[in-house]
């Protein structure tokens, strides 16, 4: 049994030795392949090369601006010279004016720049005017302030690791203020108890340090707390910075709807009015829709010149004695004829 076992042991040793030599040959071959691939990779890397990406601010847009806030979009062109895509890890931004912070923020995971490509990255920023005015008292509505935008792009590049690309851009931005509106006078084309045609003489005052290009005006107006309707006027005119312009708006209303308030109107004591509406304007910073409003104003009623009258803009005033004459039918001709008709239709005693 011992003699028969011995050859088996020898054969097993030879087999294990062969396997070991075969494994060593195989391992050496794999290592050689790995070294070959590594060498090829280094040669490709040397031939193609890796480099630092570049970035530049190509534009700043204000797609929306009003009395409450300004939406700003910063366009940043990022170029990747590398043979592999690189991720934008983070974007840090800061907007300041005269060294004072207006707004700052962080945008994580901002995307990927393709290999050997360029991408325009859009950075949205919102300036809330109430926050700015509550922090800095010297920033007034209607003014234009300088700003500086600082952007840090953080990218992850093979070989170099994480890199920060700092960018800056300067400019100006407005703090808009609503225009003032006044009803200078109401000029009557036809005065009738059932239907009156009048021209509203509106004054618009630009309180901003920049020009307004008026495109459209829509509003509703109240006389003596009674709405006489509204109008939507398309009229192109320029209102210079801190300047004034005048607009004539035709309107039709029914005086009988005023009831006893018509007494003050006819007596010429001044008519209380309110206006609410909006103006659509063009500015050097983009289009804006600004509100207009006036409450507690007082205006005068005017009437067109009639035959024999020297004053083209006579105020509509009826004294107590004139009203008595109207009641007696003694003043039923001339410029007060239509008003006398009104006297007979309402109780002015």
pLDDT of residue 302: 59
**Residue 92 placed within a domain:** yes
User: Helices 320-327 & 337-345, crossing angle to 10 degrees?
Assistant: 80
- The more confident residue out of 325 and 287 is 287
Altogether, the residues listed in the chain come to a count of: 349
What's the total number of domains in the chain? Answer: 2
**Do residues 170 and 188 share a domain?**
no
> 201 pLDDT exceeds 80?
yes
**Residue 327 placed within a domain:** no
**Do residues 107 and 225 share a domain?**
no
**Residue 184 placed within a domain:** yes
Mean pLDDT of the chain: 77
**Do residues 184 and 167 share a domain?**
no
**Residue 326 placed within a domain:** no
Q: Which of 156, 174, 192 finishes a domain? A: 174
Mean pLDDT over 267-274 rounds to 69
Distance CA 169, CA 93 (A): 11
Strand-pairing partners, residue 65, are 70
Distance CA 260, CA 345 (A): 11
**Do residues 164 and 73 share a domain?**
yes
**Do residues 208 and 231 share a domain?**
yes
pLDDT of residue 253: 79
Q: Which of 174, 198, 224 finishes a domain? A: 174
> Which of 328, 50, 208 minimizes the C-alpha distance to 340?
328
**Do residues 161 and 217 share a domain?**
no
Mean pLDDT over 7-28 rounds to 50
Distance CA 247, CA 249 (A): 6
Can you give the pTM of this predicted structure?
0.67
Distance CA 343, CA 167 (A): 75
Task: Give the number of other CB atoms < 10 A from CB of residue 91.
Answer: 21
**At 337, is the pLDDT very low, low, confident or very high (cuts 50, 70, 90)?**
low
Q: Which of 149, 174, 199 finishes a domain? A: 174
pLDDT digits (tens, 9 = 90+) for 111-155: 899 999 999 999 999 999 998 888 888 889 999 999 999 999 999
pLDDT of residue 133: 85
**Do residues 151 and 211 share a domain?**
no
Distance CA 277, CA 217 (A): 8
Distance CA 210, CA 281 (A): 12
CATH number, domain of 90, equals 2.60.40.1820
> 163 pLDDT exceeds 50?
yes
Mean pLDDT over 70-75 rounds to 94
- Look up the domain containing 254 and give its range: 180-318
**Do residues 167 and 65 share a domain?**
yes
**Residue 19 placed within a domain:** no
């Amino acid at each position: 049994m011992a003699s028969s076992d011995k050859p088996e042991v020898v054969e097993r040793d030879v087999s294990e030795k062969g396997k070991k030599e075969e494994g060593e040959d195989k391992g050496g071959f794999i290592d050689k392949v790995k070294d070959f691939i590594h060498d090829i990779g280094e040669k490709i890397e040397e031939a193609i090369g890796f480099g630092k990406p570049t970035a530049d601010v190509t534009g700043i847009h204000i797609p929306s601006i009003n009395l409450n806030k300004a939406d700003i979009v910063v366009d940043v062109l990022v170029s990747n010279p590398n043979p592999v895509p690189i991720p934008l890890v983070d974007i840090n931004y800061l907007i300041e004016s005269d060294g004072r912070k207006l707004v700052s923020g962080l945008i994580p995971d901002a995307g990927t720049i393709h290999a050997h490509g360029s991408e325009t990255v859009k950075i949205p920023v919102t300036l809330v005017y109430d926050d700015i005015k509550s922090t800095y008292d010297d920033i007034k509505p209607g003014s234009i302030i300088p700003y500086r935008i600082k952007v840090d792009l953080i990218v992850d590049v093979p070989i170099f690791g994480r890199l920060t690309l700092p960018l800056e851009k300067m400019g100006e931005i407005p703090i808009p203020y609503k225009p003032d509106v006044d009803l200078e006078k109401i000029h009557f084309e036809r005065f009738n108890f059932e239907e009156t045609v009048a021209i509203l003489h509106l004054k618009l005052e630009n309180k901003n340090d920049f020009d307004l290009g008026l495109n459209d005006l829509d509003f509703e107006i109240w006389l003596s707390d009674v709405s006489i309707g509204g109008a939507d006027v398309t009229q192109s005119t320029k209102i210079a910075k801190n300047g004034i312009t005048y607009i004539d708006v035709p309107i039709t209303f029914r005086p009988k709807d005023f009831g006893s308030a018509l007494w003050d109107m006819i007596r010429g004591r001044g008519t209380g009015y309110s206006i609410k509406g909006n103006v659509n304007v063009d500015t050097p910073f983009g289009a804006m829709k600004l509100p207009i409003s006036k409450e507690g104003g007082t205006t005068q009623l005017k009437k067109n010149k009639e035959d024999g009258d020297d004053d083209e803009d006579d105020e509509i005033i009826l004294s107590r004695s004139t009203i008595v004459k109207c009641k007696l039918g003694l003043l039923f001709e001339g410029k007060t004829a239509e008003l006398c008709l009104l006297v007979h239709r309402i109780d002015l005693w």
